[in-house]
Amino acid sequence: MTATTAPRLDALLARAARDHPGRTALEGAGESWTYARLERAVDALAARLAATGVAPGDRIGVHAPKSPATV
């Protein structure tokens, strides 16, 4: 048996946003987010975290209500 490397979540999201930017990625709490909107939100959050010193591989905690914005 050989080990395989699963694709990273950020790469999967980037591909979905590129291939299907207008498709619905998340629904809930009365909201609907497209892949393009989700990718923009993820990129903005990653930049804010990096600006505070969070580095790749660091662990952070999240406590928030269930909603597309939380994802």
3-state secondary structure of 3: coil
Q: Tell me the whole-structure pTM to 2 decimals.
A: 0.79
Confidence (pLDDT) at 1: 58
Confidence (pLDDT) at 22: 98
Only one residue has tokens 């987010």, namely 33
Residues 65 and 57: their CA atoms lie apart, in Å, by: 24
Confidence (pLDDT) at 64: 85
Alpha helices for the chain (secondary structure H): 9-19, 35-51
Question: Cα-flanking dihedrals φ and ψ of residue 6, to 5°?
Answer: -75, 145
Confidence (pLDDT) at 35: 97
pLDDT digits (tens, 9 = 90+) for 12-71: 999 999 999 999 999 988 889 999 999 999 999 999 999 999 998 899 998 888 887 787
Confidence (pLDDT) at 33: 94
Residues 5 and 52: their CA atoms lie apart, in Å, by: 30
